[in-house]
Structure 1
Amino acid sequence: MTNNHYDLIGVGIGPFNLGLAALCEPVDQINALFLEQKPQFQWHPGLLLENTSLQVPFLADLVTMADPCSQFSFLNYLRAKSRLYHFYFFEKFHIPRREYNHYCQWVAEQLSSCRFGERVEAITWEENRQDFAVKTKRVDGTHFTYHCRNLVLGVGSIPHTPACFQNVPSERIFHSAEFLHKRDRAYQCQSITVIGSGQSAAEVFYELLQAQETYGYRLSWHTRSQGFFPMEYSKLGLEHFSPDYIHYFHSLPQDKRDQLLAGQDLLYKGISFSTIANIYDLLYERSVADNYPDVQLASAMEVKEVEKAGNGYRLVYRHLHQNQPYTHETDCIILATGYHDKIPDCIANISHLIQWDEQKRYIVNLDYRLALTQDIPNQIFVQNGDLHTHGIGASDLGLGAYCNSVIINTLVGRSVYPVQQRNVFQQFGTLT
């Protein structure tokens, strides 16, 4: 095998592709390379706030659900960092988000297959070689071309900015994904408005609420959702984040999948009970002796227009129940409006090889291979871009090791990491 030809090249190094790299490490049959344009591993760096926790248990690390004995497990990270007893006395199943990020960096540093500071600019299919040419640009400006038999796209999702905000001067309009980097800019404003109703919106609002007495701004939290509701976190509800539900969901027609997803928001988009409790408790504490904080929470408010107004912005809402307009002025707007999948620009030259559905989305097989237009021995896999085909667990860290087990088993043609068939107590679909 030459030094620039691989069995598998991964585009992007987020938790899913990093987990794949870790699980590939002991597999001799797979010579893999993973490329990331960032200089080091960073997982949502703008939201690594203190006192925020991962929303899945620590067992949902990069490898444990596939190989509990792996050297890249979170528990082995704790041992390497002399934190096992600290964690033992911590007595929590959900770990700090900042520690999860540091754990992933620790894993990435040990994997020679992971290369940072190298942007994939274009991928082409070379018929004569029967492989993919992956053209990159490194931080020093040099270009390089690798070749591989198989690809795995793991670029993840990007922050979503609603259309009405996209053409507005945005010095003090930014996505929650940038919150830590631009928080000081918000602190200097006289009024701040957070838009959204998920976990990120709640965490940003709580951080701003805690600092409100120090900086003295007016604070608003608006959403078009019906309320500030908790995420479904019952044990039977969590069974939807299982291989069993993936199999059931994938077996459905695409129109039925889309219909199901539209009604499952609170399974993966709500707010944790603890965050809601923290917000409410602080509002209660601050309101003692009729000393109510300058805070406004409003739901069912859909933003229709945004425009500059002096040094700030004017928002025009429509109330979804009363169908009434409402105008609100603010100096700073933080958009906790979620993320959406983006087809990476680098695959433009091989898009003709990929089958697309009517909405220009990937058609993804159960084993995470993209359906192709040509019968070739090479495969293209996708990570965390399959919500429409594999269901609400597509981005769930707890399913990352399962997804990677399936990919590795498919590549090698045998069960390197055994996948259990029965993981839940309930049955999805017709009773048998």
Structure 2
Amino acid sequence: MTDTAVLDVAGIGFGAANLALAAALHESAGSTAALFLEKQPDFGWHRGMLIEGASMQVSFLKDIATMRNPVSEFGFLSYLHEKGRLVDFINHAVLMPSRTEFHDYLQWAADRVRHMVEYGVEVTGVRPVVEDDSVVALDVLAGDRIAARTRNLVVAQGLRPRLPEGVETGERIWHSSQLMHRLPAFDERAPKRVVVVGAGQSAAEIAGHLMDRYPSAEVCAVFTRYGYSVADASPFANRVFDPAAVDDFYQAPQDVKQSILRYHGATNYAVVDGHVLDDLYRRQYEQRVTGEPRLRVMHTSRIDSLDPRADSVAVRVRFLPTGEVTDIDADLVVHATGYTSPDPSELLGGIADKLCRDETGELLIGRDYRLRTTADVRCGIYVQGATEATHGISSTLLSMTAVRAGEIAESLAGDRRTQERAAGNGK
């Protein structure tokens, strides 16, 4: 090895998941040399969907720290206390804060560990550092530069916007993740007709926001379901997000894993909170009363084609039960069609031959979120987010963020103690 300083931990990405890990490492006993690399110029968490009035879908207690350590200095209550709003929040009597406030909380937490983060760094790959035929460290690359050399790596790339096959974004065709960044450019020439594709929470929130923002616009909601479906937020169903549920899911046979994901999809996927649904239905009903319909729900339908033009998008919508086609001239088309988790191996090509896979080719991941590697790899590689198939439905959600960070921090500490013992024995 060269004289390059070797970190204990390097993290790729600095969203809520690795922020939670940074907080856990900051609070852990002993010193840990850690650095997180983030391609954004500063901290940001789903900024494109910070719609005014939109609330979180989880309790404030499921922040980045409280379920790991109820007295953590990184908890949401500590944030409120420091901001002078604790009493006001208690009087507000809500479990779910606004999305804007929660983003401010995450920004506050990120500022507290600013010394552990390097922003504006886009990681392009990872290269093994070999000594005595063993991989003893990893070089994290940003182009031709070594951004970090580390004994342990935590990959948390976040989610990637998903679009229907063949759809490309453009001036008037967006993914919902771009919404609040792109709308201001259209405010002066307020859209007269907008198509929103999707049947989930984001789609419903966007439809309501567009009607508020553009009072004369028609909003066409297009989705293949017959109607919006309410999210299952019942306390028994929500146990699928409990820490114990991860243990149950991880050790379950593959067919049981698939059953759990299928049975409890209504807690998270393509569903809408009840109060958002009620508000949309109220709007549509009142518009029928006044004879000024602006929310046009095109259920059981799909978009056959999008044809961008100079100042509009020609949208062809097919009603699936009959095959009837409707042509719409829209100013904007917003796809609230969800996200996918990137394959962590995309960034790990330099050590791809060291990663163990199952018979289907999927990466093998331990309960502590550590990738299984060949015996000659002495460093650890952990993943956050891309683990739904192994760890369950909460993998990409806030519900397990704090607990998972604590589990990874504990695993890192255990591995470090093992390495120190080995060094002390002259091995």
Question: TM-score, length-normalised on structure 1?
Answer: 0.87
Deviates more, 1:100-109 or 1:178-187: 178-187
Distance verdict in 2 for CA 1:333–1:185, change over 3 Å:
farther
CA gap of 1:19–1:273, structure 2 versus 1, over 3 A, is same
User: Equivalences for 1:24-423 in 2 at 5 Å?
Assistant: 24-27=25-28, 28=30, 30-111=32-113, 112-128=115-131, 130-136=136-142, 143-166=145-168, 170-185=170-185, 187=187, 188-213=190-215, 216-254=216-254, 256-258=256-258, 260-269=260-269, 270-288=271-289, 290-308=290-308, 311-320=311-320, 322=321, 324-329=323-328, 330-343=330-343, 345-357=346-358, 361-413=362-414
2:129 & 2:191 partners in 1: Cα distance? 54
C-alpha deviation, 1:315, in angstroms: 3.2
* 1:321-366 deviation line (CA, Å, top 9, x unaligned): x251423322310000000011354322122222345665433222
SS where residue 98 of structure 1 aligns? helix
Q: How many residues align?
A: 404
* C-alpha separation in 2, matches of 1:259 and 1:238: 16
Mean CA deviation greater in 90-99 or 186-195: 186-195
Per-residue deviation, residues 347-391 of structure 1 (Å, max 9, x unmatched): 221222223456654332221111224443321111111111111
For 1:359 and 1:42, locate their aligned partners in 2 and report how far apart those are by CA, in whole Å: 36
Contact 2:198 2:337 in 1 (8 A): yes
Q: Given the superposition, is the C-alpha separation of residues 235 and 259 from structure 1 closer, same or farther in structure 2, using an over 3 Å criterion? A: closer
Name the CA shift for 1:95/1:247 in 2 (closer, same or farther; >3 Å): same
The 10-residue stretch of structure 1 (201-210 or 252-261) with the greater mean CA deviation from structure 2: 252-261
Q: Distance in 2 between matches of 1:379 and 1:98?
A: 35
The 1-side partners of 2:224 and 2:160 are apart by 21
- Contact 2:66–2:402 at 8 Å: present in 1 too? yes
Aligned to 1:425: none
Residues 355-364 or 240-249, more deviating: 355-364
Structure 2: how far apart are the matches of 1:23 and 1:225? 42
Q: Partner of 1:177: helix, strand, or coil? A: helix
Most deviating of 299-308 and 383-392: 299-308
Structure 2 CA distance for aligned equivalents of residues 333 and 228 of structure 1:
19
Gaps of 5+ in 2: 418-427
* Letter matched to residue 307 of structure 2: E
**Which runs of no fewer than 5 residues in structure 1 stay unpaired?**
417-432
Name the CA shift for 1:8/1:173 in 2 (closer, same or farther; >3 Å): same
Cα RMSD for the two superposed structures: 2.4
| Contact 2:13/2:37 (8 A) holds in 1 | yes
Q: Distance in 1 between matches of 2:356 and 2:324?
A: 43
Deviation of the 1:196 alpha carbon: 0.4
Amino acid across the alignment from 1:163: E
Alpha-carbon distance in 2 for matches of 1:66, 1:346: 29
Read off the aligned partner of 2:405 and give its amino acid letter: N
Partner in structure 2 of residue 9 of structure 1: 10
Mapped to 2, the partners of 1:162 and 1:222 lie a distance apart of 13
Distance 1:318 1:252, change over 3 A: farther
- 2:424 — aligned with what? none
> Structure 1 residue 405: deviation in Å?
1.5
Corresponding residue of 2:24: 23
- State the percentage of identical aligned residues: 28
Asked if the contact 1:118/1:136 (under 8 Å) is kept, the reply is: yes
- The answer to whether the Cα contact below 8 Å between 1:4 and 1:145 also exists between their aligned partners in 2 is no
Distance 1:299 1:362 in 2: 38
Counterpart-to-counterpart distance in 2, 1:21 and 1:298: 45
- DSSP 3-state at the match of 2:118: strand
